[in-house]
Homo-oligomer: A and B are copies of this chain.
Amino acid sequence: MNVPALRSPNAALVLDLLRTADETGISRLELAERTGLTPQAVSKITARLRSEGLATEAGHRASTGGKPRTVLRLVPTAGYAVGVHLDRDELTTLLTDLAGTVVARRTRALDLGAGAGPVLDAVTEEVRGLLSGPTAGAVEPAREPAHERTPTLTPAVPTPAPAPTSVLGVGVAMPGPLDHRAGVPGRVTGFPEWEGHPVREELARRLGLPVVLDKDTNAAALGLAVRPAAPGSFAYVHLGTGLGAGLVLGGAPLRGDRTGAGELGHQTVQLDGPPCGCGGRGCLEVLCLAAVARGDAAGAARILGAGAANVVRLLDIDQVLLGGRLVLAAPEVFAGGVREVLAGLGLPAPVSVAGERDTVAEGAAWLVLTPIFGK
């Protein structure tokens, strides 16, 4: 740990405060108070950030008897990130700015089981299309309106055409198991064709951009963790085609030794329950999906609640966030059911539905943005 090692953490800390500040921005003195640094150091750091184009002055606060505080803001157009969500039957690609705001978005049908080759072809095509779109022409600036060139492109925000600038990288989220360090999937559930394919390397080569790979639930949890008012520790429980969880402890996602953390679906909750393909019995996923299949969402919610309670107790966490297609189909049933189980056990953790349509893809983009903010 050498001295320049101080530079990035402190600058990242300041940058993160700029990011999470409310819309009015944040002044140097407020930064100093919240970082514990002296106002002088903050001045130095913000001067560097401004010269790098990452921050800017944006107006003044009302005076309280002296010189009014100058307000600083993050410059969201200083960088962009691509988020890719490889779901079992759908490919979502989106572009976010430095603040994580979605600038452009694409979707298309996908067969994940087709294997790495065709899927990576599709990803390459979608990312290229996204980047050559009108909103951030890093690769190939173009002026045509979105709907003429790329029918599926839907600008989420009517941004006044941000200047072309750098795309920092591509975050890819897909079902596990996989190794996020090596960027290589394992036997992706049901699709052994993926095992060992160097996805990160190949995509990085094709796109000429840094690529980060992670499990879908981890990405979703990361995306939720970076929200300004996010709790420090929580479990994101995702009930879609399968059941998984993303765990955030002390602000950082927990990946475990093999990127496998958050495996909630194969928790044993019924020792003598029905056998599961995993080799166990009474797995949470099997029981929960069976209840859904027979139309008993409330029953599924109670079973899910027992699983969530196990996690809350084991990790002593603050909050449970729910998401995934099945949850979104009946949000109140699931939130209420899980809440009831937790309350019955005297666990104070609040339960809410947080996962939305693009939660995973946005989280994937955050895989790229997160290091900049020291997370």
Contact = CB atoms under 8 A, between A and B. Distances in A.
Most chain-B Cβ atoms within 10 A of its Cβ — which of A233, A268, A270? Answer: A268
Interface stretch (A47-55, A90-98, A311-319): A311-319
A260 to B, nearest CB: 4
Contact of A3 (B6, B259, B280): B6
Interface string A263-304: 110111111110000111010000100000000000000010
A314 B266 CA distance: 9
Contacts of A207: none
A346 interface: yes
A333 interface: no
Interface string A97-134: 00000000000000000000000000000000000000
Interface stretch (A19-27, A194-202, A249-257): A249-257
Contact of A268 (B2, B9, B266, B310): B310
A278 to B, nearest CB: 6
Contact of A279 (B260, B282, B345): B345
Contacts of A254: 249, 315
11 contacts: A2-B37, A233-B256, A233-B257, A247-B314, A256-B315, A257-B318, A261-B316, A267-B310, A270-B272, A271-B303, A280-B309
